[in-house]
Amino acid sequence: MLFHRRETRLPSPEEALKGRPEPEFALPDRHTVLGNPLAGPYPEGLAVADFGLGCFWGAERKFWQTPGVWTTLVGYQGGHTPNPAYEEVCSGLTGHTEAVRVVFDPSAVSYETLLKLFWESHDPTQGFRQGNDTGTQYRSAVYTHSPAQQAEAEASRTAYQSVLRASGYGDITTEILPAGPFYAAEPHHQQYLDKNPAGYCGIGGTGVSCPVGVAKADG
């Protein structure tokens, strides 16, 4: 293996791989399912949400199947290494998690609805893994793009924690932070399960429904 795996802790900035100033590939122009551009700038009136919920192949499909979502793309977020490669992220030496960027029309689908889908599509109590997928790149995360998103995400976490605990689950380990740089993943990862319908999907929730209507935030 090219890089030593670190599955139990995140690297410090000093420990992280150096990365590169520019990506080593060109991102595809358009979404293979929705037909819209992957990269911004996006049309006026659309909003952006970023989620990490395990392997990004299945996670991305969950969101592109949601009415009101304009485009999705997968990438790496929450770490230190600029423009990391997939193998570097999997080493645990970049600090990134596998993430899905969701570009959506707030008049057609609310951020609260996307949060509900996020919580119900994985187990947010597992720390650095999802099911059999282990490593810091599989940690649960919400990266927010406004104070309103931050407040709504935190409120939804509190609400979901209550119902999870009542169902016998432990503490939510999801990190909720203002969005930092999002580095798009390699072209073959984009809309992977559309290109490979029988491909691996490790996404699976707890079966516990997330309350709706309790995660509102002002602003």
Instruction: Give the active site residues.
Output: 55
Q: If DSSP codes are grouped into helix, strand and coil, which group holds residue 111? A: helix
Nearest to 101 by CA among 182, 204, 193: 182
Q: Which two tokens stand for residue 26?
A: 């060109």
- Residue 33 has φ and ψ, to the nearest 5°, of -105, -50
Rounded to whole angstroms, how far apart are CA atoms 203 and 76?
A: 17
Map tokens 């802790």 to a residue. Answer: 9
Which residues touch 199 (CB under 8 Å, ≥6 apart)? 57, 192, 193
Rounded to whole angstroms, how far apart are CA atoms 123 and 146?
A: 25
- Residue 55 has φ and ψ, to the nearest 5°, of -50, 125
Rounded to whole angstroms, how far apart are CA atoms 148 and 174?
A: 18
Which residues touch 166 (CB under 8 Å, ≥6 apart)? none
Map tokens 């900035």 to a residue. Answer: 13
